[in-house]
């Protein structure tokens, strides 16, 4: 790494993939000046029909390049190729979703005439772009997260500056190039890999920024939010320690593979990965054993191989950290049912623990690795209380055949979404996706992000 470039290396074996130029304070200032001037010139705004055309053409280009995009994302991010292909398909659908919003998300009529003061008036609203959007993204979905932040900004008519994760900038740069090939003028979407956190801070906190979209760690996100200029809106997407409740009547044959998928997909590096499973005492040991068996059968290795189901962690330091947390839990009484030892400097096996102590790090913090903990409970409300006990709340799940149990869990769990008979990591990109408490601020999902990136502007006309 030099002062002017960073090396992008494959997390599985450290191979050099590419080098990328970094941007300092001068480049950030130039990007902000370009974007803000564009936003302030209303005559230069892209018309809705043009935005639709660009997004549709981008989706077509992405479809043509789908396999290349999947391989590139798998190489730089470490997600297995089978899952990277699914990510690319989601990203293409997300771009199309953004293009459709311009036909479905309109203003509204505000009734007049209901009071003497409002007689003889007509009122309606339209949408306008909120301003310059700055999008700071994470590594774990290097293409789809960028789409979630950038495509709604384009649909809304906002100039956007996007900063991808340093570990995975290539998918972002590829997507920006595709947008430009699709007809988007360069100034409307600028990608910067900033050279330091200080420079990122200058980008985010500048008063010319109208909206910050941040996906990443809670510590960084909340710190940036506290430093935003007055009037800058924001949405923060952090992580959690997603809870699953398994009732005694649950279909374990169906539940186990779903819990395994939700816990070990992308080596657990997902903000809503299954981490804490609360199973009724009558089935907890069996569930943990079967989950351990399922975990042990997953193939870990090179993400570019078709047979790989679990890839590496993003960097070796994360393997060491996850192992330290696992060893702590075992030393304090947790029973190890699968995994538990690094496979290499970069890969950690899918790991299942039964009854870690409630105050260890695996029980109280987001592991962001391939570890699932199982805890026995005696009473449903006890399980819900334990699930709700942490300062994080995002997506949760319950497995049961009983509607009353499902609805009771839905009504009492703190998550913004509760899945019934499915894992916590389920998502389609047009549904609301919201971290609560320390897990985030605002509502994600492409239509919701689009609304955040617009203002509703009122017209009131008086008849003369």
Q: How far is CA 336 from CA 137, 299, 319, 326, in A?
A: 35, 19, 17, 9
Phi then psi dihedrals of residue 84, to 5 deg: -65, -35
Stretch (H or E) spanning 441: strand 440-441
CATH of the domain at 129: 3.40.605.10
With the CA atoms of 29, 32, 37 and 39 taken in that order, what torsion angle do they form, in degrees rounded to the nearest 10? Answer: -170
Q: Residue 57 pLDDT more than 70?
A: yes
Is position 171 within any domain?
yes
Stretch (H or E) spanning 451: helix 446-452
Is position 356 within any domain?
yes
Is position 170 within any domain?
yes
- Between CA 193 and CA 285 the distance in angstroms is 47
Q: Is 335 a catalytic residue?
A: no
pTM score, whole prediction: 0.93
Over range 115-142, report the average pLDDT: 96
Q: Residue 213 pLDDT more than 90?
A: yes
* Same-domain check for residues 225 and 338: no
With the CA atoms of 108, 434, 174 and 179 taken in that order, what torsion angle do they form, in degrees rounded to the nearest 10? Answer: 0
With the CA atoms of 444, 447, 448 and 452 taken in that order, what torsion angle do they form, in degrees rounded to the nearest 10? Answer: 110
* Same-domain check for residues 233 and 303: no
CATH of the domain at 370: 3.40.309.10
Domain that holds residue 181: 5-238+439-462
* Same-domain check for residues 137 and 84: yes
pLDDT of residue 195: 93
Number of domains comprising the chain: 2
Phi then psi dihedrals of residue 353, to 5 deg: -125, 140
Q: For 25, what's the count of Cα atoms within 13 Å in the CB-facing half-sphere? A: 5
Task: Point out the catalytic residue in the list 172, 189, 234, 271.
Answer: 271
Over range 186-204, report the average pLDDT: 96
- Between CA 311 and CA 78 the distance in angstroms is 6
Is position 433 within any domain?
no
Is position 282 within any domain?
yes
Task: Point out the catalytic residue in the list 76, 195, 237, 366.
Answer: 237
pLDDT of residue 3: 56
The percent of residues in the chain predicted with pLDDT above 70, rounded, is: 99
Tokens of residue 265, six digits? 């997909």
* Same-domain check for residues 334 and 389: yes
Is position 195 within any domain?
yes
Whole-number mean pLDDT of the chain?
96
Q: Residue 35 pLDDT more than 60?
A: yes
pLDDT of residue 49: 96
pLDDT of residue 166: 95
Q: Residue 376 pLDDT more than 50?
A: yes
Confidence of residue 2 (pLDDT cuts 50, 70, 90): very low
* Same-domain check for residues 325 and 396: yes
Q: Residue 242 pLDDT more than 90?
A: yes
Q: How far apart are the first and last CA of the chain?
A: 69
Over range 27-48, report the average pLDDT: 97
pLDDT in tens, 261-318: 999 999 999 999 999 999 999 999 999 999 999 999 999 999 999 999 999 999 999 9
* Same-domain check for residues 358 and 218: no
Scanning the structure block, which residue is given the tokens 């077509």?
60
* Same-domain check for residues 250 and 366: yes
* Same-domain check for residues 231 and 262: no
**H-type helices in 5-80, by residue range?**
25-40, 48-64, 66-77
Kind of pairing, strands 436-437 and 392-393? antiparallel
DSSP string computed for 163-232: E--TT--HHHHHHHHHHHHTT--GGGEEE--BSSHHHHHHHHH-TTEEEEEEES-HHHHHHHHHTPPTT-
Tokens of residue 456, six digits? 């509703």
pLDDT in tens, 393-415: 999 999 999 999 999 999 999 99
pLDDT of residue 4: 86
Q: Is 237 a catalytic residue?
A: yes
Over range 428-446, report the average pLDDT: 94
Q: Are 213 and 234 in contact (CB under 8 A)?
A: yes
* Same-domain check for residues 262 and 362: yes
The percent of residues in the chain predicted with pLDDT above 90, rounded, is: 98
pLDDT in tens, 61-97: 999 999 999 999 999 999 999 999 999 999 999 999 9
* Same-domain check for residues 186 and 56: yes
Is position 286 within any domain?
yes
Confidence of residue 464 (pLDDT cuts 50, 70, 90): confident
């Amino acid at each position: 790494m030099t002062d002017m470039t960073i090396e992008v290396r494959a997390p599985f074996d450290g191979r050099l993939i590419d080098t990328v130029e970094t941007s300092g304070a001068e480049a950030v200032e130039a990007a902000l000046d370009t974007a803000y001037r564009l936003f302030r010139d209303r005559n230069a705004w892209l018309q809705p029909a043009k935005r639709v055309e660009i997004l549709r053409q981008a989706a077509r280009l992405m479809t043509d390049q789908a396999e290349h995009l999947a391989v590139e994302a798998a190489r730089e991010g470490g997600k297995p190729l089978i899952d990277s292909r699914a990510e690319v398909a989601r990203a293409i659908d997300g771009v199309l979703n953004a293009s459709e919003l311009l036909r479905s998300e309109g203003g509204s009529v505000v009734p007049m005439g209901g009071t003497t003061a409002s007689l003889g008036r007509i009122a309606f609203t339209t949408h306008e772009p909120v301003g310059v959007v700055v999008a700071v993204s994470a590594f774990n979905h290097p293409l789809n997260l960028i789409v979630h932040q950038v495509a709604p900004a384009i649909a809304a008519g906002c100039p956007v500056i996007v900063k991808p994760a340093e570990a995975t900038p290539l998918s972002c740069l590829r997507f920006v190039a595709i947008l430009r090939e699709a007809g988007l003028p360069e100034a409307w979407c600028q990608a910067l890999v900033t050279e330091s956190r200080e420079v990122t801070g200058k980008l985010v906190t500048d008063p010319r920024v109208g909206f910050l979209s941040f996906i990443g760690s809670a510590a960084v996100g909340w710190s940036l939010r506290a430093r935003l200029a007055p009037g800058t809106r924001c949405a923060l997407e952090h992580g959690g320690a997603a809870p699953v409740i398994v009732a005694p009547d649950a279909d374990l044959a169906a539940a186990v593979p779903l819990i395994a998928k939700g816990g070990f997909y992308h080596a657990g590096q997902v903000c809503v990965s299954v981490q804490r499973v609360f199973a009724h005492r009558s089935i907890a040991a069996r569930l943990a054993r079967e989950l351990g068996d399922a975990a042990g059968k997953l193939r870990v290795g090179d993400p570019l191989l078709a047979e790989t189901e679990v890839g590496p962690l993003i960097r070796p330091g994360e393997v060491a950290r996850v192992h330290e947390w696992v060893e702590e839990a075992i030393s304090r009484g947790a029973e190890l049912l699968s995994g538990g030892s690094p496979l290499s400097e970069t890969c950690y096996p899918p790991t299942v623990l039964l009854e870690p102590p409630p105050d260890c790090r695996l029980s109280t913090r987001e592991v962001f690795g391939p570890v699932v903990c199982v805890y026995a409970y005696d009473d449903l409300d006890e399980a819900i209380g334990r699930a709700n006990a942490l300062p994080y709340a995002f997506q949760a799940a319950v497995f049961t055949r009983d509607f009353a149990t499902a609805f009771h869990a839905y009504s009492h769990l703190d998550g913004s979404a509760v899945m019934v008979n499915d894992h916590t990591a389920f998502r389609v990109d047009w549904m609301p996706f919201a971290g609560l408490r320390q897990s985030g601020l605002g509502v994600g999902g492409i239509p919701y992000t689009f609304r955040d990136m617009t203002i509703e502007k009122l017209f009131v006309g008086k008849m003369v």
